[in-house]
Structure 1
């Protein structure tokens, strides 16, 4: 085996460990969003109307995002001080075990208000662990090698779509059960199946070595007097704010997937299984698109791909809602797939952009903080805010479309103000700008 082939093979160990953890994290989160639409709104919040129950369920969905910044800061500091591996072992256990516990939770009819209270508590634990899970996955994949970083870091990002397909597909399968069976036990099985993924992810991560880039700074990191978060805020504030701004557009999947699922079922009358399968199909295409966008960014740079994806979403959001409101299943699928491929241009390239933007000493803290603060402020509340905007607009989604324009615009502007982080593309631009002597 050649030296290059051996290095590439070695690189797949941390990348696969990162991707597996990402699948577990987002399987749990997408599972919760599907259950919020189909189960939690009726089983955990007492005798309320379907719309009010859905809004309460989305509020508990948002709670997970509210605590994610705290988890990101705490675990990000630990990851920059003691290493990436021990933190990722802890977070995958927190995510998986809390999800399994949700599957075992009695409903409102059985234990009254303890049901929503315990659901919220488990959601908090889930969110705390998730606050560092994806950021850590990006760090590990990004630090596994500098060549083709866009491609390799996009693989954990594609794991988000794999998780969405698994969560939505499994939920759609059990939704085919008679309604009584689904409400009694069917919805619980997808949550309990998380035990398989947790076991596999933990086993892979135990075998994963610490990243080489962290080992190079390990002594310095352990002896540093300032916490990585304080150093990040004092020395890298502009980078942190730009990274957070880029994630505004990266959060739009919660409009085109989570909210669109609820809107198509509750407002437009699409059958639940049809809408769920639409999310599965878009996830299949989106996972491939994520890796393709990441590979493209290795050639043309991170900024052009992010900006292009954001501008396309601005242009497409009104046609998106027009298509799904026509009542055609085929047009619903086309709209969801096209929007999802476009938002993957932001999300798929984000990983390499983040990994290159922050130095190793504060990289874990920088990525976790930038992602999770915007996740709490934007991503988590988006389905709830979008549902409220539809109510305010008398059932129309035009205010939601306007919100998408604003968020995608922030993402495009932040990427435009950022430096090009791809070192090869940046070097070519510098050499091209230097006048040649004659």
Structure 2
């Protein structure tokens, strides 16, 4: 491998592998919220009430993510990308291991849900900067094929979901009493292996060359977050709008899993395998969409994915009610489509914001919308099903609205891929990648 190729692939690989490990931790919680936490940590409540409370604690992690994104994004733009990614992996790893050791409601009463929420807050604070940092590192390391390189951390998120759900499904095969007693804890405790590996990887990861050249050498005293709001507000709102549809995986994954088990009566383990399959296909689709955006531009891919989801959402719910085979088809197709938005976000965001505010811009845009949309989405969707008497039509309308915001935001944005913009207009892209 040439030195130039090594300079691209080492930081991209380090950010992607760290992302797998950190988001494995984050996604474990969603599976546990459906299958375990509703009975282990919230006392004697009905299954529906327990699930909704568990989803509420799941949403807590999203509420603090903007704070983590703002704090760590500011540090990442001033001090460097590497120290932030080391800090986030430590926060995620330690809090996840602690969840695996946490006594349940029967052992310590209301301290159990209180401590669970506290650890979820720590998880969310670390997650608030993790994906944004990984995208920045990958995007700044692969400037000539930015769509391909910066989509790799997005694929890593799917790999993490696949691993978390798959390992959780494996232990869910245990007899129910053993699974409740200790089996559900093992996937959380396995994070100790991932934590050690992630720290090793990120200690060895170099700082990005673009940060060194464009930011650190300026030696200016400034607040990236303040500059973001004073000079790049329009871009920030466009980036946030695109992420409305970027959160729809929480409908097609977390909510669909809960709905298929609790409302349709599908076996938990078999339903979990559908999520695993969609994660495997979704990881490949994320990279494919990113590579396609290098050829046709970022905007067409994002808009196309959003419009497809608008057209597919009613067939999606029809299919998952026809049996497990159709559930798998529906979840996989929907997830491939939502990856057109999520996967191309990475190069789009990297090119939308200049380097001196890039980490802050990406983290703020993603995490604020994640807190407002992504975190509450499974809970809101569950409540809408209850309000509609068991029907999913209100959830479908919600999906149409979120995907529509993404399509409109991308349409209002400039084409950030400089090569495509140059072909279309004959001029460089109005967004800056420096």
TM above 0.5, yes or no, is: yes
Judged with a 3 Å threshold, the aligned counterparts in structure 2 of structure 1 residues 432 and 232 are, in CA distance, closer, same or farther, namely closer
* Aligned residue among 206, 209, 223 for 1:209: 206
- Corresponding residue number in structure 1 for 2:10: 13
Mapped to 2, the partners of 1:412 and 1:387 lie a distance apart of: 25
Mapped to 2, the partners of 1:400 and 1:138 lie a distance apart of: 30
Q: Say yes or no: does 1:408 pair with 2:390.
A: no
TM-score by length of 2: 0.97
Q: Secondary structure at the match of 2:426?
A: helix
Deviation (angstroms), 1:145: 2.7
Mapped to 2, the partners of 1:45 and 1:24 lie a distance apart of: 28
The one-character-per-residue Cα deviations of 1:336-384 (angstroms, maximum 9, x if unpaired) are 0000000000001100000000000000000000000000000000000
Structure 1 residue runs of 5 or longer lacking an equivalent are: 434-438
Deviation (angstroms), 1:432: 8.9
Deviation (angstroms), 1:202: 1.1
Instruction: Indicate if the aligned counterparts of 1:84 and 1:140 stay in contact, CA closer than 8 A.
Output: yes
Q: Say yes or no: does 1:321 pair with 2:317.
A: yes
- Corresponding residue number in structure 2 for 1:270: 266
- Corresponding residue number in structure 1 for 2:37: 40
Alignment of 1:12-411 (within 5 A): 12-219=9-216, 222-224=219-221, 226-326=222-322, 328-411=323-406
Aligned length: 428
Instruction: Indicate if the aligned counterparts of 1:68 and 1:131 stay in contact, CA closer than 8 A.
Output: yes
Instruction: Indicate if the aligned counterparts of 1:81 and 1:222 stay in contact, CA closer than 8 A.
Output: no
Q: Secondary structure at the match of 1:421?
A: coil
Mapped to 2, the partners of 1:307 and 1:140 lie a distance apart of: 25
Instruction: Indicate if the aligned counterparts of 2:78 and 2:216 stay in contact, CA closer than 8 A.
Output: no
Mapped to 1, the partners of 2:79 and 2:96 lie a distance apart of: 27
Deviates more, 1:62-71 or 1:198-207: 198-207
Mapped to 2, the partners of 1:219 and 1:87 lie a distance apart of: 15
Instruction: Indicate if the aligned counterparts of 1:297 and 1:305 stay in contact, CA closer than 8 A.
Output: yes
The one-character-per-residue Cα deviations of 1:98-117 (angstroms, maximum 9, x if unpaired) are 00100000000000000000
Mapped to 2, the partners of 1:282 and 1:222 lie a distance apart of: 46
TM-score by length of 1: 0.96
Instruction: Indicate if the aligned counterparts of 1:323 and 1:331 stay in contact, CA closer than 8 A.
Output: yes
The one-character-per-residue Cα deviations of 1:124-148 (angstroms, maximum 9, x if unpaired) are 0000011000000000001103111
Q: CA RMSD in A?
A: 1.2
- Corresponding residue number in structure 1 for 2:431: none
Deviation (angstroms), 1:263: 0.2
Instruction: Indicate if the aligned counterparts of 1:82 and 1:218 stay in contact, CA closer than 8 A.
Output: no
Q: Secondary structure at the match of 1:321?
A: helix
Deviation (angstroms), 1:9: 2.2
Mapped to 1, the partners of 2:194 and 2:295 lie a distance apart of: 34
Q: Secondary structure at the match of 1:143?
A: helix
The one-character-per-residue Cα deviations of 1:148-198 (angstroms, maximum 9, x if unpaired) are 100011111000110111000000000000001000000000001111111
Mapped to 2, the partners of 1:389 and 1:264 lie a distance apart of: 15
Deviates more, 1:153-162 or 1:17-26: 17-26
Structure 2 residue runs of 5 or longer lacking an equivalent are: 429-434
Deviation (angstroms), 1:238: 0.2
Instruction: Indicate if the aligned counterparts of 2:421 and 2:427 stay in contact, CA closer than 8 A.
Output: no
